[in-house]
Amino acid sequence: MSSIAVMPDPLLAEQPHPPVAPRVDHRVIVHGETRVDPYHWMRDRDNPAVTAYLEAENAYTAAMTAHTAPLQAQLYDEMLARIREDDRTAPVRRGVWRYYSRTETGKAYPIYCRSVGDTGAEEVVFDQNAAAAEHEFYQLGALEISPDHRLLAILEDTSGYEDFTLRVRELATGMWLADRIERLGFGLAWASDSRTIFYLTTDEAKRADRVWRHVLGADRARAAEVFHEPGVLNNVGVQRARSGEYIVLTSSSFTDGEVHLVDAARPTEPPVLVRARRDHVEYEVEPGMDWLYLCTNDGAPNFKVMRAPMATPGAWEEWLPHRPAVFVEGVHVFRQFVVVQERQRGLRALRVIDVASGASHDVDCPDAAYGIHVGANPEFDTTELRFTYSSLVTPDTVFDYDLRTRTRTVRKKEQVLGGYDESAYAIERIEAVARDGTRVPVSLVYRAPLARDGARPLLLYAYGSYGYPMEPTFSATRVSLLDRGFIFAIAHVRGGQEMGRAWYEGGKMMQKMNTFTDFIDVAEHLVRERYTSSDCLTANGGSAGGLLMGVVANLRPDLFHTIVADVPFVDVVNTMLDASIPLTAQEWLQWGNPMEPAAYAYIKGYAPYENVIPRAYPRMLVTSGVNDSRVAFWEPAKWVAKLRASKTDTRPLLLKMNMGAGHGGASGRYERLKETAFRYAFVLDG
């Protein structure tokens, strides 16, 4: 590969022509079948031809969307105008300190600050703008204050590839210590001495596999390996428990795991195993006053809560029994109370239990569709719970909830500038019946009133993987679509966990097709009920949701007018066959291992790249980032090349490749707004 066949510069041509990617057939035999991949060569990011192709695609996209520049600018300006650029988060109490972050007009990143009490002078802990000044991309993987409040430890990534560097700052002087450790994974925890830090490293496939203990001032070579997980299906994690007594080490796959505890006051002591892993048994641990609280699916498909004495962590006893209609997501443990995070009828609920008396109550949530998120709550000895509540029309509202009196205090409500009026919009929570009779929840928001005449444009979003629920929460940027007549809808398809564990299990492995057909059935329902029509229907999803976009594009291209696929996981068979690719091996428990004939056949039956054929496709925008470590850039690049060579229509097919970012796109808030404006402009231009 020395060159790429590209038409004359599309930025200069009167009629832009798309790049033509050459075919170089790569052949492998799998299960007796010869597989031919004509765009395998795109995996070589060091090949100048690959860079040339990506740049040609970007130039073509720029030319094809140049006429939308005024609309992009208008969208950007109105979205920016809704945001209070000079803003501050609600302070979080940690001892005598109040920690918060704030933003300033024109600055892309937050400034992390603190004060003594609510009225003390501000002290800047970390200015992310200053740190990012010399980098095109900058993100934090962790920001942790030492227990004595004297030091700050951060994990920073300047490429988007999620290779983090540990740095430690002395807060009194603002000086960075000499300690600098590179190529780390997510996860950081301080021991109680405020001199010892636990961190993670990853293997060649970017699987977090080792926990290390580092003493400040010591050379990295003297760091002690605390835990190693050799199993390729498991990732390790590390965090400091809210009680402060333990460093919690986790090793988990998608189906099982185990937890070890390190005494935070004696960080050199060996970890203590809570209970050895067992097949298909998951558990998480939250230390309390005298007990460990364990959320587990052991004999409980929708999870239950057990507890065990600190001295004998393997001696579990039932504390909150399994309830088939309620899915337990986790527990937040405080000295006097345990808050159980549950899911009922597809929506999150918070159940408060008094440890001493066992009395319980639920936190009230007024909307038909909403999201509630429990904050960091770093204080263990407290009777206040910090959470954020929002709905599809209600901006994020931060509450402090008194666990004793059941009263709540608003600490901050997101300001939406420019005259936003919640009462001008309406929420619906409906159900669509899937082809197998399953009732799939759908959350909708639109500007009222709604005449169901099929004329409204509608953007249908879904994710549907890993058991991640899609919460029906507020977005200020989304108002730009709603005010232009759009309905925004979330299809809570199987593969998520909105309706409990069975909802997740019903959309993975050899039942993964349910995710895709649920989405199609929801779309058909919305058209049939005249919320919209196929000519007005846009589908959107990212990452595993981008896989969803790729499948529905192949299965029902006639149903959608436009598809926007962000960082899409579309080359499923080839990726799952190659365990050297980051994150692949553990993903076998999500999609199946194609080295097994049955799994290979099943995945091949839906994989987007495999199933591109000559046919008409909808308008399509595909986005990605060259430094993406989760879904490699070549997946969407190969998919677009194959689509372009196969499709029989003349509708736009655009690839927008960020040449300096990873899975999450641009890192600064202004650049992210520009990316959103670009996507919206493409949708509106149709």
Catalytic residues: 543, 628, 663
- Beta-sheet strands, E only, within 334-463: 337-344, 347-354, 360-362, 370-374, 384-391, 397-402, 408-413, 425-433, 439-447, 458-461
Tokens of 229: 């997980």
The residue assigned the tokens 């073509």 is: 60
Q: To which residue do tokens 């960075």 refer?
A: 176
| Contact by Cβ (8 Å): 655, 636 | yes
Strand, coil or helix: what is 39?
coil
Name the DSSP class of 221: G
Q: Are 30 and 18 in contact (CB under 8 A)?
A: no
What is the rounded distance in angstroms from the CA atom of residue 306 to the CA atom of residue 300?
A: 11
CA distances from 113 to 320, 374, 389, 396 (A): 39, 21, 24, 21
Please state, as a whole number, how many other Cβ atoms lie within 10 Å of the Cβ of residue 361: 12
**Residue found under tokens 């299809």:** 491
In 216-326, beta strands by DSSP E: 224-228, 235-240, 246-252, 257-263, 272-273, 283-287, 291-296, 304-309, 317-320
Task: Report CA Rg, the chain.
Answer: 25
Write out the H or E segment, with its range, that includes residue 214: strand 208-215
Measuring CA to CA, how many Å separate 180 from each of 95, 154, 215, 496?
Answer: 28, 10, 12, 39
